[in-house]
Amino acid sequence: MSTQSDTSSTPNDGISAQQLTAYCDDYLSAHDFKDYCPNGLQVDGGQPIRRIVTGVTACEALIDAAIADNADAILVHHGYFWKGEPAPLTGMKGTRIRKLLTHGISLITYHLPLDAHPKIGNNAILAELLDLEITGGLYPHELHPVGNIATCAPQTAEALATKIATALGRTPLHIAAELPNDDGLIRRVGLCTGGAQDMIEQAAEMGCDAYISGEISERTTHSARELGIHYFAAGHHATERGGIEALGEHLKAEFNLPVTFIDIDNPA
């Protein structure tokens, strides 16, 4: 919560959580998505927003950091109220939400709309970091594809693994496969950040030589080997820092508000 004494260090009187959310909804086409959680304003802190903290997940450590930063809003990719989870605000969930409300902090979440945005989305940022050129969606008929197909300069799987490690600061888990082409080089890559390992079959179907996502399941190894497609598990957290950080930068410029990206380290 901002106290009256810090308004002198802020550039304006702030905006309401509803205003900020309406802008983001529109910018990210949030209403076009069927998602696993509500997108937009999840917790209304009841204060004008003068300082924003962004982060990947609305965990307690991020909330504590936002309180220390005197933020009025937290913007995340992974918020609360996931489909199928118990509704009561008790235990860990109760503690998190109590902290938000006690400090007048609003929680704003964008999940799939933030994966898919063509400019500041998680996939778009990952593609840019890895010198991949997005050519379309993994599922070509989706209005806003949450996974993409991209082309790249012909390269070995080892070279791509090194590129991923350098770009994300984390060595990916690489499941090698034998490609059906003559030189074994990767030219066409499927990508979908986060926990999208099961879209590997679709990537193979779309003729990709490699598929990059965040997580890996036991079964993914066999899929990669049997489908003849390299798989790179680049980290759920590591592949999803880009979108929310970029959204924060965009809002900073749009509303002239201080926005701080806070990375709560997560090796998974």
Closest CB to Zn ion among residues 48, 194: 194
Does 45 bind Zn ion (CB under 5 A)? Our answer is: no
Dist CA 171 CA 176 (whole Å): 15
Chain positions 4 to 33 lying near Zn ion, rule: CB under 5 A, are none
Closest CB to Zn ion among residues 14, 214: 214
**β pairing state of 52-57 and 259-261:** parallel
Chain positions 79 to 118 lying near Zn ion, rule: CB under 5 A, are none
Min CB(107)–Zn ion separation in Å:
16
Closest CB to Zn ion among residues 34, 141: 34
Running DSSP on this structure, what letter comes out for residue 198?
A: G
Min CB(147)–Zn ion separation in Å:
13
User: What values do phi and psi take at 208, rounded to 5?
Assistant: -80, 145
Closest CB to Zn ion among residues 121, 194: 194
Dist CA 258 CA 52 (whole Å): 6
What is the number of H-type helices and E-type strands within the chain? 10, 11
Min CB(23)–Zn ion separation in Å:
23
SS3 label, residue 107: strand
Min CB(95)–Zn ion separation in Å:
22
Question: Nearest-CB residue to Zn ion?
Answer: 194
- The total number of residues written for the chain in this structure: 268
Q: Tell me how far CA of residue 95 lies from CA of 51, 53, 83, 102, 122, in angstroms.
A: 22, 19, 20, 10, 29
Q: Where are the alpha helices (DSSP H) in the chain?
A: 17-27, 60-68, 91-102, 112-116, 122-129, 157-168, 200-205, 218-227, 236-239, 241-255
Closest CB to Zn ion among residues 170, 225: 170
Min CB(150)–Zn ion separation in Å:
19
Min CB(186)–Zn ion separation in Å:
24
Q: Are 209 and 186 in contact (CB under 8 A)?
A: yes
Chain positions 147 to 206 lying near Zn ion, rule: CB under 5 A, are 194
Min CB(144)–Zn ion separation in Å:
16
Running DSSP on this structure, what letter comes out for residue 49?
A: B
SS3 label, residue 9: helix
# residues contacting Zn ion (CB under 5 A):
2
Binding mask 226-255 for Zn ion (x = CB under 5 A): --------------x---------------
Closest CB to Zn ion among residues 79, 194: 194
Closest CB to Zn ion among residues 146, 175: 146
User: What values do phi and psi take at 152, rounded to 5?
Assistant: -150, 165
Closest CB to Zn ion among residues 66, 114: 114
Min CB(34)–Zn ion separation in Å:
16
**Interface with Zn ion (CB under 5 A):** 194, 240
